[in-house]
Amino acid sequence: MTGCALAARPQPASLFAGNDFIAFGAIQALREARMDVPADMSVAVFDDLPPGRVLDPSLTVVSQPAYEIGRRAAELRLERFDGRCP
């Protein structure tokens, strides 16, 4: 992902990562390419693990209620097992 963004012309202004760990790798790759994050390219992420809050620079995050998503998915699955849902 980062390699394509670095090769693109014009380069994107930002990258969007699927989780914090991908974002950490993207930031590392950008730094290895001697790019300043966020001045040269910013990184946003769909996650919100605590390490994302202490990274320098801090990540722009879209929080997701992972526990609630998992709980609701289990409820829906159990309802299907019980025949309450199609």
17 membership: H or E segment, kind and range: strand 14-17
**Domain architecture of the chain: domains with CATH:** 2-81 (3.40.50.2300)
What pLDDT is recorded for position 2? 63
Name the β-bridge partners of 14.
42
Helices (H), the chain: 2-7, 20-32, 51-54, 66-81
Strand 14-17 and strand 42-45: pairing?
Answer: parallel
In whole angstroms, what is the distance from residue 76 CA to residue 79 CA?
5
Measured CA distances, 72 to 20, 60, 64 (Å) = 23, 26, 13
At residue 64, the pLDDT reads 76
Q: What's the average pLDDT block by block, 10 residues per block, for the chain (86 residues)?
A: 75 85 88 91 78 62 80 89 68
What is d(CA 12, CA 7) in angstroms, rounded to the nearest whole number?
10
In this predicted structure, what is the pLDDT of residue 53? 55
